Every structure is written in structure tokens, then in C-alpha cells.
Amino acid sequence: MIRINCPYCGEREHSEFTYGEDATRTTPDNDAPMEEWNKFVYERANPAGEHIEYWHHAFGCRAWLKVQRNTLTHDISWVGLPHENPEAAS
């Protein structure tokens, strides 16, 4: 069972949250070539291991959070606010 330790609300179960997406993707510039936009819209890193991603505490404080989760084990090793980064990734 995935539990996420919300910085505002404390540890809550996963049914209070909705999954957002990969938090490491950055939007290309408006005038970036179509190739870059194609990569941004369609291609996914889809790693097997640590993944940094957004979750929305939809049925709680409604804050967006950044979470580091292992895609092989469901273990969550870090939770922060969207502008923060886990040490290993920063």
C-alpha cells in the first residue's frame, strides 16, 4: 500500500492522492523545433527504479507534491514541495 507523507497533512494513504506525471520533464520553448515538442508530448523515460513525479493531494490539502518513488518496489523515499528536489537528484 502506497502511503505519502504530505508535508502539510502528514502520512496519508494513496487513495487521497491522484498521480500527476514525471516531474523531471520541462516544457520546450515555444519556438523549439517540432522534434523537441514531439519528445515532450509523446516520449516517456519510463525508468525501472527511482522516479521523481508529481502527486496531487486531491482529497486532502489539495497541494501538488513532488515525490521520489521506486517503480520496482512502490517504496517512497522522499516527499517535498514542487519547487524542492531530493538531494540525490539536485
Partner 1 sequence: MGQYNALNIAWNALRGHKHWQRAWRDPEPKSNYDVIIIGGGGHGLATAYYLAKNHGITNVAILEKGWIGGGNVGRNTTIVRSNYLLDGNAPFYEHGMNLWRDMAQDLNYNVMFSPRGVMNIAHSKSQYDTFARRANTMRLNGIQSELLSREEVLEREPIIDGSADTRFPVWGGILQPDAGNARHDAVAWGYARAADQLGVDIIQNCEVIDFIKQGERIIGVKTNRGDIHAEKVGMAVAGSSSRLAEKLGMRLPIESHVLQAFVTEPYKPLINGVVTFGAGHFYVSQSDKGGVVFGGDIDGYNTYAQRGNLPVFEDVIAGGLTMMPCLSRLKLLRNWGGVMDMSMDGSPIIDVGPIDGLYLNTGWCYGGFKATPASGYCFAHTIANDEAHELNKAYTLDRFAKGYTIDEKGMGPYPKAH
Contact residues toward partner 1 (CB under 8 A) are 1-2, 13-15, 18-19, 22, 34-35, 38-39, 41-48, 51, 53, 69, 71-74
> Between residues 53 and 80, which has the closer beta carbon with respect to partner 1?
53
- Please identify which residue in the block is written with the cell numbers 519528445: 39
Least gap, CB of 70 to partner 1 (angstroms): 9
> Between residues 27 and 45, which has the closer beta carbon with respect to partner 1?
45
Classify residue 53 as exposed, middle or buried by CB count within 10 Å of its CB (0-12, 13-18, 19+).
Answer: middle
Least gap, CB of 57 to partner 1 (angstroms): 14
Least gap, CB of 55 to partner 1 (angstroms): 8
> Between residues 75 and 84, which has the closer beta carbon with respect to partner 1?
75
d(CA 8, CA 84): 14
For the record, the C-alpha cell of 30 comes out as: 515555444
Measured on CA atoms in the order 20, 23, 25, 27, is the torsion positive or negative?
A: positive
